[in-house]
Structures are given as C-alpha cells and as structure tokens.
Copies of this chain bind each other. A is one copy, B any other.
Amino acid sequence: MINAVGRELPDAVGSYVVRPYQGLGAEQAYTGTAVTRRTVQRAKDREPKLLPDLVSAIRAAGLRDGMTISFHHSFREGDYTVGLVLTAIRSMGIRNLRFAPSAVVNISNCDLLEFVRDGTITAVEASGIRGVLGDGLINGEVRLEQPVILRPHGARPRAIETGELTIDVAFIAASAADAYGNCTGQTGANPCGSLGYSFVDAQNAGKVIVITDTLVEYPCVPVSISQQYVDYVVKMPQIGNPEKIGAGAARLTKNPRDLMIAEMTADVICASSLFRQGFSFQTGVGAISIACTKFLAERMKQAGITAGFALGGITSAIIDMYDAGQVRAVACSQSFDAVAAKAILDRPGVYEIDNSDYANPFRRGSYLSHLNFGVLSALEVDTDFNVNILTGSSGQMMGGLGGGPDVAEGADVSIVVLPIVRGRTPSIVKRVFTCCTPGESVACVITQAGIALNPRHRSYAILAQDLEAAGIRTVSIGSLQELAQSITGEPEPIRTTDEVVAVVEARDGTVMDVIRRIR
C-alpha cells in the first residue's frame, strides 16, 4: 500500500501490523482509556529500597526473559547507565529483552551491538538508533526478529499509555537521589538537567529503578520524580559524564556557511508578523541552531522585544537569553549541555517539563500547540518538503527522529535549516530516502543558496507576505534541488533488499515510512 506521503509500505512486518499514515488532521481514532502497568499495592514501608548493586535491584524488580526495559537519554553520548545495566542483565543470563529507551545514541562506553549479538536484546523501540546499533542493523551485521520501531518524542507517551509499548522495568539515571527514590537530574556530582523523558516511564512502568551516583539525605530537594513511583535505588560510582551531553554543540561555529544559514533563519523569524512581544521559539541544538539563537538574541535586543517562552532541548545560548531578561520562561524537556543542565536549579523561570507536556498530541495539549517558531535540522529535504532526519547518503543511520516531526507540526512557522550539499551529497533531493516529517508540516526550508516556502503549509500566505514586505527573496524548492544536483551530480540510488529493518512511526502511531536493509 501507499501512504499519504507516497511511501510504499508492506501490510505487516513480522507481527507488526502497518497502519499507513493518512496525513495531518486525518489521525487514527485512538480514543481509549489510558492503561498502565503500575500496580495498586500496599507499599512495604519498612523494606529498604536502596539495594547494594544493579543485580540485586534487577532481581528484586523481577526482570525476566522477554520483558521490556527503558532508559532516558539525557546524558546523550556521556551516558554510562545503559552499559552498566545491560552488562548486569547479561551477567544474570536474562535474554530476549525489548530495549526501549527514549533514544539510542552512540554511547561511547557501550557497544550495544554486542548485546544484540548475544541475544540480551532482541527488540528495539526508540526515537532513533544512531551509532553502531543502527548501522549494524541496517548493514545486516546483526538481525532482529521484529523491526525496530522508531517514534518521535511526542509519540512515545501515547504508545506507553495505550499499551502498545508496555514497560516492565524502567531504569532512571538521576544525578541525585535519596535512598527512598526521590530524585532529580539538577543536583549531584553529574547533573544531566531535565529528566523530562522519564516521567511517563515512572508513572507507567511495572517497576522503577533509580540509579544515582550522588545519594543525598532524605528528602531529595528539588525532586523531579518522587518516591511514590520508585521501587528500588542503586548507587553507582558514576552514572554519566555531563561534559559529553553537549558534545561540543555549545561552541559557536565559525563556519561561514553555517553562520550564513543561521543569519538567514534569524532574518525569516524577524520578518514574520509572529515575531512580536511575547513570541515563542524552539531553536534546538547543532551549529546552525546555536548560531541562530545568538543572532535571534541580537535582533530581539535591537527590536526591543522579549520572548514569552523557549522550548524543548535547551542550550546555554538560551540560558544566556534568560539571564539577560530576553525570555520569560524556559521550558526544558531536555538539557542540551552542561550549562543548561545546571540552570534549572536556581532560575525560577527555567524549569523541567515532562516530555508528554512538551510534545504529546494525545493528551489535552502540549507546549507545541503554542509554539511560534521551530528551527529544525535535517539530513535531506525533498521537493515535497518531506524531511529525512534518520538516514545518510548511503542509507546509514545518522540521526534520530527526536522531536522533529512534533515541532514541525506544532510550530506556526517550522523552519528546516541545512546546507544545500554536504560534501558530494545533495541535501535537497527529489525524494528523501526516508520520510520522517511530512512535507505538509514544514513551512520553510533554508539553505545558504536560498529560502524556499512551502505553498501547502497552513502559514504560507501570511509568511510569504511577511517576507515580501521585509524584502526577503525566496526561491522554489525545485530550484534548490536542481542547484544541489548541479553541484553534486545525480546521486547513485541507494540499493536495498526487501527486508524491513525499522518502521518509522508518525506522531499518531501510523507508519510514515520503513527503512530497508542496504544491499
């Protein structure tokens, strides 16, 4: 079958039944009552929750073959907890697990492929599987019986609440915790900041294990996730390295191409009639995004306006704006560098939010419903404005869905920023290899070679008028594609087998695309 973004999909992949994406506003009827794995049971008040090691906690939690485990990815590449836990699980001989972290990143000290090879992990669900695991799967180096299910951040809570993704044991790395499970990412030796991804896990998992390296006196204050959700606590020497959260992203780029795209993005935002006192933005992470945040801060100062809120993954560049009084509220679903990770503690307007509050379209509404500008990075955009944020030029796994599809749909003006080519690879193409974000939800694409507006986007008419009034010229997406191709030549098509390695879900749980094994 063919879905609403023109992708050919199988009816099913293994036991996974494909529900094709039907377009924005044509969501499947998921009305149902929220379910949870949490039992209502008398607390054993007098039994200590603090256990001596991971093996004891995993045993106490009753983890068995075939169950599902979850993690947050707030430490990003600096995470130590996933590796420690999987190693403990393997040592206990528990196998055949579904590994369902909020995202798989390329954790430096943990070779996830090993845990697939030895059968500890036999299924994966996450927002992305960047790194060795993704590459190993897509290259056929390792195989899983079920396809990997990739979901945008906003889609994970719905999948958990409806029972599509039931979590048996959630492991929550917390930089400070008391012995009874009250915990946070804001204090302690290695703060990771917002624990935004873990709220839904804590509230719905069968068992919750908090892992910390800084045990504090009861009660842990401030507290992000409370004792009422936590079954066991384990202290480890170090849960992660906060310096690796940002992985250099917080440095301001000197690359003139990136600076140019960033400045063009600030131009578009400032030309919009939505750029006014109290506006809201999410600029994200990455060289162009950080530079764009800096340009935006300057323009706001010149224009004499301040923002109502900044959203999402928060960087030090946004904390600087808060400190300068340029943004009233900073809602952190994630802290994107060590500075942002520490900023929540002592700034009343910088606060942690539940990932579901950030992006879940299946509760009563999220911050995204109020977002004016969303700046998004991408690997490829095609002439239908469809965006690929997962797979690279040879089909390899390069990114994660993150909140990309969520922000694109939520923001009044969603702006995808990317260089027109990367090396010998065009970024603007006729058809993206993997469709992650539907073109309908993208208002604008900005490359150093020009700005393309999407005539199918709901903000098109106003934005086109605003840019014209500001004297900003636009080009067609087709002309950008032709230009890119004229630089790189026609790219070799990526050849795949029929075997589906991963399913890319839309925000509502329908299927946007599938990723096939590379031949």
Contact = CB atoms under 8 A, between A and B. Distances in A.
Interface of A: 27, 30-43, 45-46, 49, 158, 161-162, 180-181, 208, 217-219, 221-223, 226-231, 278, 308-309, 328-329, 331, 346, 348-349, 351, 353-354, 356-357, 360-367, 369-370, 410, 508
Contact of A30 (B36, B42, B226, B278): B42
Q: Interface of chain A, helix or strand or loop or mixed?
A: loop
Given A45-B361, A46-B369, A219-B370, 13 more contacts: A27-B42, A30-B40, A31-B41, A33-B38, A33-B39, A40-B158, A43-B361, A43-B363, A45-B365, A181-B365, A221-B351, A230-B365, A231-B364
A369 B226 CA distance: 13
A413 to B, nearest CB: 16
A39 to B, nearest CB: 6
Contacts of A35: 33, 35
10 contacts: A30-B41, A33-B36, A34-B36, A35-B35, A40-B158, A181-B364, A219-B367, A221-B328, A222-B351, A228-B364
B158 A362 contact: no
Contacts of A331: 219
Given A278-B217, A508-B42, A366 B228 contact: yes
Contact of A34 (B40, B158, B222, B357): B40
A276 B229 CA distance: 29
A69 to B, nearest CB: 18
A34 B27 CA distance: 27
A508 B41 CA distance: 10
A438 to B, nearest CB: 16
Given A219-B370, A221-B348, A221-B351, A227 B364 contact: yes
Contacts of A34: 36, 38-40
A210 B31 CA distance: 23
A79 B189 CA distance: 45
Contacts of A351: 221-223
B40 A221 contact: no
Contact of A363 (B228, B329, B354): B228
A206 to B, nearest CB: 9
Given A364-B227, A365-B49, A365-B180, A329 B39 contact: no
Contact of A226 (B39, B46, B162, B353): B353
A219 B308 contact: yes
A49 B227 CA distance: 33
Contacts of A369: 43, 45-46, 180
Contacts of A364: 43, 49, 181, 208, 227-231
A153 to B, nearest CB: 14
Nearest to A345: B348
A402 to B, nearest CB: 19
A40 B231 contact: no
Contacts of A40: 30-34, 158, 161-162, 362-363
A326 B354 CA distance: 33
A42 B361 contact: yes
Contacts of A161: 40
B227 A308 contact: no
